[in-house]
């Protein structure tokens, strides 16, 4: 069989091969099209070279037609079902609650109790840090660890969270019992949440604008800009990769530079072309 240059280049690029050439050697056994005294092979099954071990047989069923004048091509393979790996959930302490005076005071009291009433911290920093982290988890709480997509919640307050929680409970109640009363209750809470969300968002932006001249306001503005920049990117989960020497790259600039080098080498590499 003569392979055209462009077809061979396509095979080479995808690291693929024709299964017929491996399991069928007789020309009459690979004929898939027959009409008007002419016969040829126009139907193929391709696979990657790395997946060839999963294929046990390939044949043309004589006498059976899938379409007019086309014989059925059958390939037998064994596929391994891969178990889905659960992503590791990392729960984080809600340190941002320390901005509230009542939470900050409660954290101080609990930390003093955990340290035995000492004013000066112990010399063992590892032990002290673990006590601080454990106290923070108990007093401030931890996040669920799940990543929320396309949700901007920096302006949420307790009223909004309580309203959303009541709306969720009403939605579950309506799902379990589809009565008109439950539906009206859910719709009313839904409208109320929209109003409270709009008010809370407007209030948060007004406070942000009034604090722009302060250092704290600038930090909040930069944090909001960075968050929106991350949310606007297509790839957000890739954290680190390795360079040529196997060293881990952590900065965003070095990771992007490494991806650029990789694709430049991949797309500009010249391979020897063979014709058969």
Q: Is there a single domain that holds both residue 171 and residue 217?
A: yes
Confidence label for 52 from pLDDT (cuts 50, 70 and 90): confident
- Is position 249 within any domain? yes
pTM above 0.75, yes or no: no
So what's the pLDDT on residue 167? 92
Q: Is there a single domain that holds both residue 195 and residue 246?
A: no
C-alpha distance from residue 22 to each of 32, 42, 47, 219 (Å):
16, 17, 11, 65
So what's the pLDDT on residue 239? 59
Domain of residue 197, residue span: 161-234
- Is position 149 within any domain? no
- Is position 242 within any domain? yes
Q: Is there a single domain that holds both residue 38 and residue 51?
A: yes
C-alpha distance from residue 194 to each of 41, 160, 162, 185, 188 (Å):
64, 9, 13, 14, 10
Q: Which of 11-25, 82-96, 150-164 has the lowest mean pLDDT?
A: 11-25
- Is position 84 within any domain? no
Q: Is there a single domain that holds both residue 218 and residue 276?
A: no
- Is position 146 within any domain? no
Average pLDDT over residues 158-184: 89
Beta strand pairing call for 33-35 and 38-40? antiparallel
Number of domains the chain contains: 4
- Is position 32 within any domain? yes
Q: Is there a single domain that holds both residue 17 and residue 70?
A: yes
Q: Is there a single domain that holds both residue 258 and residue 227?
A: no
- Is position 208 within any domain? yes
Average pLDDT over residues 175-183: 89
Q: What value does the CA radius of gyration of the chain take, rounded to a whole number of Å?
A: 32
């Amino acid at each position: 069989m003569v392979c055209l240059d462009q077809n061979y280049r396509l095979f080479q690029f995808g690291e693929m091969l024709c299964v017929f050439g491996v399991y069928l050697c007789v020309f009459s056994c690979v004929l898939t099209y027959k009409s008007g005294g002419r016969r040829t092979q126009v139907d193929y099954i391709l696979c990657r070279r790395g997946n060839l071990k999963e294929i046990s047989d390939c044949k043309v069923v004589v006498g059976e037609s899938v379409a007019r004048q086309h014989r059925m091509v059958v390939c037998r393979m064994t596929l391994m079902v891969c178990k889905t790996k659960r992503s590791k959930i990392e729960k984080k302490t809600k340190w941002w609650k320390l901005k509230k005076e009542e939470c900050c005071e409660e954290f101080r009291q609990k930390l003093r109790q955990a340290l035995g009433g000492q004013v000066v911290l112990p010399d063992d920093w590892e032990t002290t840090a673990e006590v601080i982290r454990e106290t923070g988890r108990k007093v401030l709480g931890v996040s669920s660890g799940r990543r929320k997509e396309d949700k901007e919640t920096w302006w949420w307050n307790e009223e909004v969270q309580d309203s959303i929680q009541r709306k969720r409970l009403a939605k579950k109640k309506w799902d379990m019992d589809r009565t008109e009363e439950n539906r009206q209750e859910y719709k009313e809470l839904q409208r109320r949440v929209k109003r409270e969300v709009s008010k809370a968002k407007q209030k948060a932006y007004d406070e942000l604008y009034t604090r722009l001249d302060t250092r704290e306001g600038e930090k909040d503005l930069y944090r909001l800009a960075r968050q929106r920049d991350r949310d606007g990117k297509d790839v957000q989960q890739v954290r680190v990769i390795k360079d040529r020497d196997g060293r881990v790259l952590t900065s965003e600039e070095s990771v992007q530079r490494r991806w650029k080098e990789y694709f430049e080498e991949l797309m500009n590499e010249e391979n020897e072309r063979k014709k058969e």
